[in-house]
Amino acid sequence: MARIVVTGGAGFLGSHLSEALLDRGEEVVVLDNLLTGSVTNIEHLFGRHGFTFVHHDVSTYIWVPGPVDAVMHLASPASPIDYLELPIQTMKVGSLGTHNALGLARAKGARFFLASTSEVYGDPEVHPQPETYWGRVNPIGPRGVYDEAKRFAEAITLAYHREHDLDVRIVRIFNTYGPRMRAQDGRVVSNLLVQAIKGEPLTIYGDGTQTRSFCYVDDEIRGLLALLDSDHTGPINIGNDGEFTMLELAELVLEVTGSGSTIEHRPLPVDDPTQRRPDLTLARTLLGWEPTVGLRDGLERTAAHFRRQLGDDATSG
């Protein structure tokens, strides 16, 4: 049994990770300031042996009493609507928060795991994106607060690895979706599913030909754990390499939900990437991991989650 600290553990991805760690017998200490996370995501874990929740902002000093075997740093606003509304907090958790989490790992002699993002590739000129690609990011654009925070986090993580011989892992997470996403999350899958379920027009930005790759949360968590347990520092891409245009996604959402919603086009946001798809060669060869849940199946499961959520709160969305 290991004792693992998960920062951002009350968020969408962090709550699934915390649950998976408990399921395999680990002790889990979740640190979260609930800025974008929610106790609702983890309330079913409170009665479980080995689970602890601490309401704390990791941008300030972190200390966890007792032994710690791994620090998994997921804390950060992660959807555009969040990091555009919380630019300074996003930069702080990516810089100060990562520094503090690294400090805890070093003090405890623990493995450090950084949840980075495909956003480090920006609007890529290389497609699909391998881990060797340095990216094309606008550091002073509105999206730069998230992109550059994660790029800095990768840099300081590897600085600790080189300077202090800290055992580290870096994952670059591509678009992930599934149950526990918020109705007002602002990411494209949640936006379209909620709009379809409520019978509202589906919002497509630009002409809808831009592409993304969508990984179901169960697959993503398996990938994170495979990297945590491996001997590979990374960075390693974890995502689904199926590539879809936004119009293809919208049409599939309409099929899955049976909605009669129309599609409404709006101006493309600044610096919105034109294409995004992971090269999964390293994940497949080094970790023996690959995604298994298709987009239709994942959308059906996620739609069921939103139907339950919207049924409980008719004002959601």
Tell me which H or E stretch contains 3.
Answer: strand 3-7
Cα 95 off chain centre by: 17
CA-based max dimension of the chain: 58
**AA letter at 251:** E
Catalytic status, residue 146: yes
d(CA 273, CA 276): 7
d(CA 86, CA 38): 17
CB atoms within 10 A of CB 67: 11
b/e 85-117 (16+ beta carbons within 10 angstroms → b): ebbebbbbbbbebbbbbbbbbbebebbbbbbbb
User: Looking at 61, 121, 133, 146, which residue is catalytic?
Assistant: 146
297 backbone dihedrals φ, ψ, rounded to 5°: -60, -45
CB atoms within 10 A of CB 164: 12
How many CA atoms lie within 13 Å of 2's alpha carbon, on the beta-carbon side?
Answer: 20
Active site residues: 146
